[in-house]
């Protein structure tokens, strides 16, 4: 019984489905056919002997009787043999000559015509498209002939055609140039099914979707003057070259400006190790001059901590999973300069109340904005305070402008030349050279040179980095050396002094990317001295390894919190092998 019921149910549903009318909601606009596609090709020459073509396509579509289509899409290629054919649409009408509404859009190497208005159309509808083109012939070495080798309807249709035909009309004088070799084929791309040939009229019937009619007509060599595509056939490659040369000239100019006006003062003849921060610049300025500003924010936070300006507090219990949260507690602003005080204001507000706290871990866009403004001010103040020379705008800016203008000209005119198929591959080379020259020129000019004072801070920072990266035993030997002892005596047998030295250099180790190794060593010094940092408050007894890991976490948390947010005329013709063609569909 269940099987019988199921069978009856299926039969009833099938009958209902068969009886149900097709509605536009379920109709496919591609589901129709063409009664015919006929093209008249009027082939001629212009005053220079280049081939010209006037085309009249008469397309008869057969639409269903219900509301499905408003018209058709006709896509016509606008390039042949790698170059543009200057395709221009003259008109679109019906069989009586009445204009048909259409929209024209340029696509990838083609022109797309959307034929029809907003109203649905039914039954047979005729569309007559007239357009012109140039440079539609070429010489084929294998056939030793000039050929008009063309695809009629094209291989890009989703509909069948009952009949496709074409007639070629030759202007006076061209008929005498015929070689007598004429071929027409139909089928899918690269197929060679013979089509009907009657003089210069070609016909194929019952074409499936994706099949086209193609023909090739041979003319004596030299019948048509080929399109010039050389370098000097158009002004575009030359204009692109001038742009590239201008960019190269700007590069040479930029190199001269860099050598004469943008060189740093010499600085130290030899970089020597340093084990104390620069006395002449704060951490923000020192990082800027040394070119190590990537970790300025977390390094400055740790610098404040070891100097006693704030404390780092672990928040809550140690998590089993995830990262530990930290809180910064403000202590004092005494002994800070203007820039450092502004940094503290960004963290704790303008009042700087002792004991005020700021939890890390949540992005603070307001603080990040203030710190960004501070960074700009530090950069500007470096010149005002004598660390950097004034930027030589009078010499550098014109070179930048010339580089940019030259690169833009090389790019724009190069793209036009490539699009119009002139001078390949030189326009591509020129636009690459022009762009690269401009980029290098800007890089050469995008710096502000250091004064002798700034160079001294830079070299001091290099010496500090050298000291931090030395092995521990080498650092002790350096501290005991005459050179090290003369700079600032440090008792290497006094753990307390070594702790103070290690704390003072921890922010700079962070700037140079050595915070983990330095924090591990500092943690061991704390344990040897029987101390623990007063500026860091943990949730468990002090442990050197945990301390080292926590310092890295504090740096990461600080950074995240305050960061700104692609020839066929002799019988070799194949379907789809010529110019023209294209395709289309329903709309």
- Report how far residue 465's alpha carbon sits from residue 463's, in angstroms, rounded to the nearest whole number: 5
Secondary structure class of 551 (helix, strand, coil): helix
C-alpha distances in angstroms, 421 versus 229, 388, 555? Answer: 6, 50, 56
Count the domains in the chain.
2
Contact call for residues 369 and 279 (beta carbons, < 8 A): no
Query: What is the Cα–Cα distance from 282 to 280, expressed in whole angstroms?
Result: 7
Q: Considering the domain boundaries, does residue 556 fall inside one? A: no
- Tell me which residue of 373, 363, 312 sits closest to 342, measured CA to CA: 373
Report the phi/psi class of residue 287: left, alpha or beta, with left for phi > 0 and alpha for psi in -120 to 50: alpha
The CATH number that applies at residue 83 is 2.60.40
Please answer whether residues 39 and 57 qualify as being in contact, where contact means their C-beta atoms are separated by less than 8 angstroms. Answer: yes
Alpha carbon 114 to its chain centroid, in Å, reads 32
Indicate if the alpha-carbon torsion angle 235, 239, 241, 242 is positive or negative: positive
Indicate whether 69 and 115 sit together in one domain.
yes
Strands lying side by side in the sheet with 88-93: 88-93, 123-134, 51-63, 33-45, 161-170, 201-207, 196-198
Q: Check whether residue 159 and residue 45 sit in a common domain.
A: yes
| Whether residue 202 is found in the same domain as residue 157 | yes
- If asked whether residues 150 and 212 sit together in one domain, one would say yes
Would you say 327 and 361 are in contact if contact means Cβ atoms under 8 Å apart?
Answer: no
476: CB partners within 8 A, 6+ apart: 492
What is the extent of the structural domain holding 99? 28-227+574-586
446 DSSP assignment: S
What one-character DSSP code corresponds to residue 318? Answer: P
Q: In what order do the strands lie in the sheet with 536-537?
A: 357-359, 325-330, 310-315, 536-537
Q: Is residue 20 part of a domain?
A: no
pLDDT in tens, the chain (587 residues): 344 444 434 443 443 444 444 444 345 899 999 999 999 999 999 999 999 999 999 999 999 999 999 999 999 999 999 899 999 999 999 999 999 999 999 877 899 999 999 999 999 999 999 999 999 999 999 999 999 999 999 999 999 999 999 999 999 999 999 999 999 999 999 999 999 999 999 999 999 999 999 999 999 999 999 999 999 989 999 999 999 999 999 999 999 999 999 999 999 999 989 989 999 999 999 999 999 988 999 999 999 999 999 999 987 665 544 567 889 999 999 999 999 999 999 999 999 999 999 988 888 889 999 999 999 999 999 999 999 999 999 999 999 999 999 999 999 999 999 988 899 999 999 999 999 999 999 999 999 999 999 999 999 999 999 999 988 788 778 777 777 666 777 777 777 888 888 899 999 999 999 989 998 888 888 888 888 888 988 877 777 777 878 888 888 888 888 875 436 666 667 666 677 777 777 67
Which one, of 42, 38, 43, 232, lies nearest residue 146 by Cα?
A: 43
Helices (H), ranges, 262-323? 283-290, 296-306
Residue 239 within a domain: no
End-to-end CA distance of the chain: 49
Same domain, 303 and 197: no
Same domain, yes or no: 286 and 216:
no
Residue 482: its pLDDT value, please? 72
Longest dimension (CA), the chain: 110
> Is residue 133 included in any domain, yes or no?
yes
Q: Where are the beta strands (DSSP E) in 449-537?
A: 536-537
Answer left, alpha or beta for residue 322, where phi above 0 means left and psi between -120 and 50 means alpha: left
Question: Could you tell me the CA-to-CA distances from 8 to 15, 17, 20, 21, 169 in Å, in that order?
Answer: 11, 14, 18, 22, 64
Residue 504 lies in a domain: yes
179 and 63, same structural domain? yes
Which of 162, 164, 156 has the alpha carbon at shortest distance from 210? Answer: 156
The helix (H) or strand (E) run that includes residue 35 is strand 33-45
3-class secondary structure, 25:
coil
Do 530 and 581 belong together in one domain? Answer: no
In degrees, rounded to 5, the angle at the alpha carbon of residue 131 between the alpha carbons of residues 126 and 136 is 125
Q: Verify that 522 and 581 share a domain, yes or no.
A: no
Q: Do 47 and 194 share a structural domain?
A: yes
Residue 316 domain flag: yes
Give the integer Cα–Cα distance in Å for 200 and 203: 10
Quote the pLDDT of residue 362. 82
Query: Contact 429/437 with Cβ under 8 angstroms?
Result: no
In a domain, 66, yes or no: yes
Are 535 and 580 members of one domain? Answer: no
Tell whether 152 and 295 lie within a shared domain. Answer: no
pTM (predicted TM-score): 0.67
406 within domain boundaries: no
Q: Which residues pair with 167 in a beta bridge?
A: 40, 201
With both helix axes pointing from N to C terminus, report the angle between 296-306 and 338-348 in degrees, rounded to the nearest 10.
100
């Amino acid at each position: 019984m269940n099987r019988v019921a199921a069978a009856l149910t299926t039969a009833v549903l099938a009958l209902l489905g068969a009886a149900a009318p097709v509605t536009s909601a379920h109709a496919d606009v591609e589901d129709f056919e063409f009664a015919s596609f006929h093209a008249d090709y009027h082939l001629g020459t212009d005053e220079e002997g280049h081939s010209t073509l006037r085309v009249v396509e008469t397309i008869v579509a057969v639409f269903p009787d219900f509301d499905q289509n408003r018209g058709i899409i006709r896509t016509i290629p606008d390039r042949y043999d790698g170059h543009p054919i200057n395709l221009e649409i003259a008109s679109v009408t019906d069989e009586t000559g009445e204009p048909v509404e259409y929209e024209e859009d340029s696509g990838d190497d083609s022109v797309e015509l959307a034929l029809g208005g907003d109203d649905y159309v039914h039954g047979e509808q005729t569309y007559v498209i007239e357009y012109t083109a140039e440079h539609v012939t070429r010489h084929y070495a294998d056939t030793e002939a000039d050929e008009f080798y063309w695809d009629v309807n094209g291989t890009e249709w989703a509909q069948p055609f009952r009949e496709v035909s074409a007639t070629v009309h030759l202007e006076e004088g061209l008929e005498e140039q015929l070689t007598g070799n004429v071929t027409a084929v139909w089928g899918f791309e690269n197929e060679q099914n013979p089509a009907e040939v009657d003089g210069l009229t070609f016909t194929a019937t019952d074409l499936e979707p994706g099949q086209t009619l193609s023909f090739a007509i041979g003319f004596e060599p030299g019948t048509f003057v080929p399109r010039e595509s050389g370098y000097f056939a158009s002004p575009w490659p030359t204009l692109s070259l001038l742009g590239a040369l201008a960019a190269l000239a700007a590069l040479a100019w930029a190199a001269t400006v860099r050598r004469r006006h943008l060189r740093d003062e010499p600085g130290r003849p030899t970089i020597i190790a340093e084990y104390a921060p620069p006395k002449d610049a704060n951490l923000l300025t020192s990082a800027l001059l040394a070119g190590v500003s990537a970790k300025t924010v977390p390094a400055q936070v740790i610098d404040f901590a070891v100097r006693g300006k704030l404390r780092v507090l672990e928040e809550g219990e140690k998590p089993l999973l995830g990262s530990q949260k930290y809180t910064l507690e403000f202590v004092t602003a005494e002994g800070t300069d203007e820039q450092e005080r502004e940094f503290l204001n960004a963290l704790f507000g303008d009042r700087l109340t002792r004991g005020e706290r700021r939890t890390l871990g949540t992005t603070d866009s307001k603080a990040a904005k203030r710190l960004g403004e501070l960074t700009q001010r530090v950069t500007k103040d470096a010149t005002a305070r004598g660390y950097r020379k004034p930027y030589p705008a009078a010499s550098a800016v014109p070179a930048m402008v010339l580089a940019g203008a030259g690169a833009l000209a090389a790019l724009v005119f190069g793209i036009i030349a490539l699009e119009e198929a002139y001078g390949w591959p030189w326009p591509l080379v020129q636009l690459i050279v022009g762009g690269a020259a401009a980029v290098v020129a800007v890089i050469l000019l995008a710096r502000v040179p250091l004064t002798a004072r700034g160079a001294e801070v830079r070299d001091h920072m290099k010496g500090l980095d050298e000291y931090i990266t030395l092995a521990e035993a080498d650092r002790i030997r350096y501290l005991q050396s005459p050179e090290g002892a003369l700079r600032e005596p440090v008792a290497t047998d006094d753990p307390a002094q070594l702790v103070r030295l290690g704390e003072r250099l921890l922010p700079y180790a962070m700037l140079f990317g050595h915070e983990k190794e330095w924090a591990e060593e500092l943690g061991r010094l704390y344990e040897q001295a029987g101390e623990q940092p007063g500026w860091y408050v943990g949730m468990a007894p002090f442990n050197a390894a945990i301390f080292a890991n926590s310092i890295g976490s504090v740096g990461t948390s600080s950074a995240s919190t305050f960061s700104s947010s692609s020839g066929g005329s002799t019988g070799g013709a194949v379907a789809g092998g010529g110019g023209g063609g294209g395709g289309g569909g329903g709309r």
